[in-house]
Structure 1
């Protein structure tokens, strides 16, 4: 597993723990703003993990495709991902 994937995995595991905590906060009827802040923190971790995965993809999969003169499919994959991110 390369470094980007390790970092992404760490972020996802942390987000998982935060989400479990958020569920507990809701069950305990904690203050809404505190819950919202934790949701925002979890979203940031998910975005970070996604960026790390895309970075790894660009540096390895897309780079390899370019070297093999087969970049169009990989570029199209990235465009689809960017469209999803931008539409939010």
Structure 2
């Protein structure tokens, strides 16, 4: 992985902490909207992590593949990115 390990790890640990907090909120039977707000905050962090990883992939792995002569490798990287776009559209 070419993304900033420290940044990605910090964000994921924050998301994990939020999930633990959400589980506690559910156990305490807290207000639904408060739980929903925390879920959306956690999702935002996970989206940020995914963006960092995709950005690193594009600027590292994909750039390296396109510097090569291998058309198959280039097509493979394009297909990988298209598969990610397909999943993001869901």
Regarding TM over 0.5, the answer is: yes
The equivalent residue for 2:39 is 39
Q: CA separation in 2, counterparts of 1:16 and 1:38?
A: 12
1:5–1:53 contact (8 Å) kept in structure 2: no
TM-score (normalised: structure 1):
0.91
Q: RMSD value over aligned CA atoms?
A: 1.5
Q: CA separation in 2, counterparts of 1:63 and 1:74?
A: 9
Deviations 1:28-49 (A, max 9, x none): 0111110000000000000000
Deviations 1:4-35 (A, max 9, x none): 33322211110000000000000001111100
Q: CA separation in 2, counterparts of 1:44 and 1:20?
A: 16
Q: Which segments of structure 1 move beyond 3 Å, counting only runs of 4 or more?
A: 1-5
Deviations 1:48-77 (A, max 9, x none): 000000000001000000001331101100
Out of 61, 71, 75, which is 1:72 matched to?
Answer: 75
Gaps of 5+ in 2: none
How many residues align? The count is 87
